[in-house]
């Protein structure tokens, strides 16, 4: 029987991947740090801490496939990013190589490409240029995975049930500051969490031919979503106020002068950030759902879990890069 080890199985993406794989014939092992998954699948729970390599020794013995989804996304704590995303990944991959793990699937982020605009770039078209501790350390962790002939997945923005960052923060931002930038024309790569999980699960399964070692794959819906359409969906399904005014990108930069984090968020949502993701769907045979249908299906979860939408304007920064996968 194939044995699959999943890290980050209690998280947003990890719990969706866990659900996808638990019906397979494979034996599942889940690395547990702070909390176990909410759903009991009968998987074997193994303790470990990516910040303490000594706790990872022997973790991968008998494992055929490693699905590494765990990371930290706290851009205010560069040290934690270094310990988990970089050094922790390096230590975990070293254990996988020592144990002879045959297949490694690692979740990173398209935020490693840094500032845009990016329009339809394929995996080899851009040189990564990360601009935060989160993306720098996630890129560094990718290096160990690719050296071990694993596959690296780079989604941009992930949404759906379990998302406590992207849509909630965008909703708070638009509530506090209901304006659009350049008419909301910027287009973004999004992927529903269930579609991302399906791609990860397909690449992890033993009955599928492995992706060529060291390859990077974008994992987003083939069609980007315009920011105005994203905002309209929040208005329709979540009652978020629509824009009351429109300003130019240059005006927005002037308004946010001296606020580097907010300027970073502006660059993410005020400029195109979309990537060619055709390769992953061709390899996995999965057809991702469209944004309108997927968001409508997720709306009840968002309505039940959104915090009160009344932050001070100064705190309304929009979804941060660290809040993407």
Give pTM, 2 decimals: 0.92
Q: What is the pLDDT of residues 284-310, one digit of tens each?
A: 999 999 999 999 999 999 999 886 654
Count of CB atoms within 10 A of residue 279's CB? Answer: 16
Lowest mean pLDDT among 246-250, 263-267, 270-274: 263-267
What band does 149 get if pLDDT is binned at 50, 70 and 90? Answer: very high
Strands (E), the chain: 3-7, 27-32, 44-47, 65-68, 103-107, 118-121, 151-154, 157-159, 179-181, 187-188, 190-192, 216-218, 225-226, 245-247, 273-275
Cβ-contact 39, 219 below 8 angstroms: no
Check residue 322 and give its pLDDT.
34
> Cα 172 from chain centroid?
20
What band does 319 get if pLDDT is binned at 50, 70 and 90? Answer: very low
Homologous superfamily of the 3-159+190-218 domain (CATH): NAD(P)-binding Rossmann-like Domain (3.40.50.720)
What mean pLDDT is predicted for residues 222-237? 97
Mean pLDDT for the chain overall: 91
Check residue 307 and give its pLDDT.
67
What band does 38 get if pLDDT is binned at 50, 70 and 90? Answer: low
CA-CA distance, 81 to 137, in Å (whole number)? 6
The DSSP call for residue 111 is: G
Structure tokens that stand for 6 in this block: 């999943």
Check residue 308 and give its pLDDT.
61
Q: What is the pLDDT of residues 171-193, one digit of tens each?
A: 988 888 899 999 999 999 999 99
pLDDT above 90: residue 34: no
Check residue 320 and give its pLDDT.
34
């Amino acid at each position: 029987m194939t044995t699959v080890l999943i890290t980050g199985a209690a998280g947003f993406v990890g719990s969706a991947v866990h659900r996808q794989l638990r019906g397979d014939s494979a034996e599942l092992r889940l690395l547990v740090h702070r909390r176990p998954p909410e759903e009991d699948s009968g998987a074997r729970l193994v303790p470990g801490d990516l910040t303490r390599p000594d706790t990872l020794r022997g973790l991968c013995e008998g494992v055929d496939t490693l699905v590494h989804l765990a990371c930290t996304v706290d851009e205010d704590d560069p040290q934690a990013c270094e310990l988990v995303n970089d050094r922790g990944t390096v230590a975990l991959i070293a254990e996988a190589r020592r144990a002879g793990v045959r297949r490694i699937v690692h979740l990173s982020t398209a935020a490693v490409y840094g500032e845009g605009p990016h329009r339809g770039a394929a995996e080899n078209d851009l040189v990564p240029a990360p601009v935060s501790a989160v993306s720098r350390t996630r890129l560094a962790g990718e290096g160990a995975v690719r050296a071990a002939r694993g596959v690296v997945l780079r989604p941009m923005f992930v949404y759906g049930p379990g998302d406590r960052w992207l849509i909630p923060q965008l909703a708070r931002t638009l509530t506090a500051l209901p304006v659009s930038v350049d008419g909301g024309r910027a287009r973004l790569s999004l992927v529903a969490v269930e579609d991302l999980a399906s791609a990860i699960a397909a690449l992890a399964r033993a009955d599928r031919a492995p992706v060529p070692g060291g390859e990077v794959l974008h994992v987003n819906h083939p069609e980007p979503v315009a920011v105005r359409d994203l905002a309209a969906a929040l208005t329709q399904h979540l009652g978020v106020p629509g824009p009351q005014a429109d300003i130019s990108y240059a005006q927005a930069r002037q308004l946010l002068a001296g606020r580097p984090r907010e300027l970073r968020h502006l660059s993410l949502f005020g400029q195109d950030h979309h990537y060619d993701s055709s390769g992953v769907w061709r390899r996995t045979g999965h057809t991702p759902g469209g944004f309108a249908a997927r968001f409508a299906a997720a709306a009840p979860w968002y309505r039940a879990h959104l915090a009160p939408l009344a932050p001070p304007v100064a705190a309304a920064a929009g979804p941060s890069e660290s809040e993407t996968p």
